[in-house]
Structure 1
Amino acid sequence: MTDRLMNPKVDGFLRKAKNWREEFELLRQIVLDCELTEDFKWMHPCYTYEGSNVVLIHGFKSYCALLFHKGALLQDPHGMLIQQTEHVQAARQIRFTHANEIEEMAPVLKAYILEAINVEKNGLKIDYKQTNDYAMPEEFQRQLDDNPALKEAFQALTPGRQRGYLHHFSQPKQSKTRASRVEKWIPSILEGKGLQDDKGKSKV
């Protein structure tokens, strides 16, 4: 680990960390051993190759993780990469619950990181699904046709939020259930919110 690659903002992040500090420090050392440049983005340590985001360190209540920004392109020979939610197209996590796991997995983690660096070196891109690739449920289309304000609000959402709704509305087999889902989420759409924005609201 070289001082040249280290970012003082990450030092501050580690000093303030109440959970996962030992695990974060181990992950930091492993990533920096791969000669990535340390940055601090989205309030977390982020590691880049020639300006492109490669991997990020973050923690949650029950686990901490390495988040590979283009993890969907990695081979994953050990089956460790996790898709956080069904709507996440590119990023994948490797999760940890104890420092010992990280120490034991260090060689494997470095192999994943080096592959992620090669993804950037080779200019590989994620083939993102576009909103038009998702079917428009007729129950939702009727609401959009009947409610200009709803149509305008939906079109103003980010593509990711739009795709999330279309996927969610399309899942039920019965039209009645699809219509019920649409009705439930109309207020959130009118407020400019996505499925993930209303934390207290069930997605049923």
Structure 2
Amino acid sequence: MDAWFADYSNPQKPLAQAVREVVLAADPRVTEAIKWQAPTFVYAGNIASFYPKAKAHVALMFHKGASLPDPTGLLEGTGEVSRVAKFLDHDDLEAKREALTDLIRAWVSARA
């Protein structure tokens, strides 16, 4: 994954790396892979993938986000399956850190 980020040319690269750190710190069982040409977080299935082309923010698509508890409303979207979390800057990530961590832990807990 480090090689992918080394080649990632995007103004949101530092923020994407910070989001990555939050996701990986949520649970040590979460791993990473490159799927669909994007970093994807995995545990007993695909949890979420970055939209690497977003430049105004960092977008993290939760593949089955509609099934996750989201009491803070972090996830956006109305589709039947996926949802997206957006992070505008480092302050926004800090404000949403706990909600993001809770989503990752909910996914892992439901599949452990």
- Secondary structure, counterpart of 2:76 in structure 1: coil
1:22 aligned residue (14, 23, 43): 14
- Secondary structure, counterpart of 2:51 in structure 1: strand
Question: Structure 2 CA distance, aligned partners of 1:113 and 1:39?
Answer: 16
Q: Which residue of 2 aligns with 1:74?
A: 68
Give 5+ residue unaligned stretches, structure 2.
Answer: none
1:56 aligned residue (32, 49, 54): 49
- Secondary structure, counterpart of 1:61 in structure 2: coil
- Secondary structure, counterpart of 2:94 in structure 1: helix
Q: Which residue of 1 aligns with 2:103?
A: 112
Q: Which residue of 2 aligns with 1:47?
A: 41
- Tell me the CA shift for residue 16 of structure 1: 2.3
Question: Structure 1 CA distance, aligned partners of 2:11 and 2:109?
Answer: 32
- Tell me the CA shift for residue 109 of structure 1: 1.0
Q: Under a length normalisation based on structure 2, what TM-score does the superposition of the two structures give? A: 0.83
For residue 35 of structure 2, what is the amino acid of its counterpart?
A: K
Larger helix proportion, structure 1 or 2?
A: 1
C-alpha contact (below 8 Å) 1:26/1:103 kept by paired residues: no
Question: Structure 1 CA distance, aligned partners of 2:105 and 2:74?
Answer: 15
- Tell me the CA shift for residue 103 of structure 1: 2.5
Aligned: 1:12 with 2:9: no
RMSD over aligned Cα atoms: 1.8
How far does the alpha carbon of each residue in 1:52-78 deviate from its partner, in whole angstroms, 9 at most, with x for none?
A: 101212241322122111100112111
Matches within 5 A, 1:1-204: 10-17=1-8, 18-33=10-25, 34-35=27-28, 36-50=30-44, 52-59=45-52, 60-83=54-77, 88-119=79-110, 121=111
Larger strand proportion, structure 1 or 2?
A: 2
C-alpha contact (below 8 Å) 1:14/1:24 kept by paired residues: no
Determine what percentage of the aligned residue pairs are the same residue: 27
C-alpha contact (below 8 Å) 2:23/2:101 kept by paired residues: yes
- Tell me the CA shift for residue 43 of structure 1: 1.0
Work out the number of aligned pairs and report it. 108
Q: Name which structure has the greater RCO, CA cutoff 8 Å, separation 6+.
A: 2
How far does the alpha carbon of each residue in 1:176-202 deviate from its partner, in whole angstroms, 9 at most, with x for none?
A: xxxxxxxxxxxxxxxxxxxxxxxxxxx
- Tell me the CA shift for residue 89 of structure 1: 2.3
- Tell me the CA shift for residue 39 of structure 1: 0.8
Task: Give the greater-gyration-radius structure (CA).
Answer: 1
Give 5+ residue unaligned stretches, structure 1.
Answer: 1-9, 123-204
